[in-house]
A and B are shown apart, each in its own frame.
Chain A
Amino acid sequence: MNASAGPSGTSSDSSPGANLLAGRVALVTGGGAGIGLGMAAAMARHGASVVLASRRSEVGEAAAAGLRAEGLQASWVRCDVTVPDEITAAVDSTVEEQGRLDCLIHNALDGSASGPLENATDGDWAALAATSVRASYDCARIVHPHLQATGGSFVLLTSAAGMEGSAARPLYAMAKAAQRGFAKGLAAEWGPDGIRVNCIAPVAMTPALAGAIRHDPSLGERLVARTPLGRIGDPADDVGPVAVFLAGDLSRHVTGQTLVVDGGGFRGL
């Protein structure tokens, strides 16, 4: 299997020279690891000051320190996205310390319900919905004035599963699809405010996916087999540039869209 590996956010060998996000400030929920950290690292390498928002300080602090060790601007703030007051505190502290907020990427997700629908519990859905759909709504309401002030960008992480459905994880697919629907409506609503709203649907080698592949090696083989580009993406080097694009001026006329960053595995849009 030709899968990209390595700890997310630690590679810097593919950073383009242009500082596309110089002077910009981005907040990434679930930014302490995986795709969240990869996107944050890519944005920081383009000159942004990034704030990693996550629940666990031992993970988030270390991730921010790792980026600072590269000479990048990064900090960590505690944020459980199921608690609106914590989102507010994270956003407010970012604006107080950085003076502005240009981009919020809501990437955090909890809950891993799988299996037959008839076995799904109310709790399975509640955990997924709280961190995906409800947290998208809470993040949006809280960050709106700050993004309006900067003409900013709001980005939600969704999944191809939300577009093609999933037999294995139907509730996960449902939650991700709902976030995509949310983004489409919000793009229409926030366009007049000068705020863009888009989704990224990635497949990348996160610690969670690596763990799943260790548990079921055929999963990695199946993922690569369905991927025309022949490998599983890297959070920083493959997904990160798309976050940079959506956070910056190059995407100034793009809103309400979903960018699938999975090496071509899903081509149904």
Chain B
Amino acid sequence: MPDLVVHIPAVTDGPVAVNDQEPHAWAAACEAPMVEAIGVARTIGSLADPSPDTGTRRLVWILPTTALGGSAGFVGVGAAGEGIRALAKGAAKQWGPSCTTTVLAVSPALLFAGPGPSDEGSLSAPALGGPGDVVTDVASLVDLLADPRNRFTTGGTLVADGGTWMAP
């Protein structure tokens, strides 16, 4: 039985304007990732409570920061991301200490293979100089979240984009 599940919903490359986006492409960009996320949550929720020996189970979703601010050309990705963030909050409230949830919001550059959303909402470059590295900057945070000492965070969004998105 897993102690840690990390789910990275698929993101569709773009950009494509909603006006030009066919329904099947919309479904792939927006609806499929949410259905996937519900499936993951449903599966985790159906697992037996972790034993006292293993402690709290953890579910981490990794999303682009597009979910937070929205981005032209990636409307479906942003909508799905906001939906999954709310799912993480609702699941956290339902599950309590038996399974915590966290959303890691990372630079779109780490998740999109092709041209991804720009940081159009930011007037400045990332404070830490770039989008970061999957292994040294993101995986290390997952390690941190999985640490047994991390017992009191759940339902939140942790932004790990090098200091581009600083709100709130």
Residues of A within 8 A of B (CB): 116-118, 120, 122, 125, 129, 133-134, 136-137, 140-141, 144, 161-167, 169-171, 173-189, 256, 269
Contact = CB atoms under 8 A, between A and B. Distances in A.
B7 interface: no
Interface in B62-96: 66-67, 69-94
B91 A177 contact: no
**Chain B CB within 10 A, most for which of A165, A171, A179:** A165
A177 B72 contact: no
B93 A165 contact: yes
A107 to B, nearest CB: 17
Nearest to A169: B90
Given A134-B31, A184-B69, A188-B72, A174 B90 contact: yes
Interface in B109-154: 120-121
Contacts of B21: 137, 141
A165 B83 CA distance: 10
A141 B93 CA distance: 35
B75 A164 contact: no
Interface stretch (B40-48, B49-57, B158-166): B40-48
Interface string B1-40: 0000000000000000111010100100011001100100
Given A140-B18, A170-B91, A185 B155 contact: no
A56 to B, nearest CB: 26
Contacts of B120: 188
Contact of B93 (A136, A167, A181): A167
**Chain A CB within 10 A, most for which of B35, B88, B89:** B89
A178 B82 contact: yes
Given A177-B83, A178-B82, A189-B75, A116 B18 contact: no
A175 B168 CA distance: 23
Contacts of B30: 133, 137, 178, 182
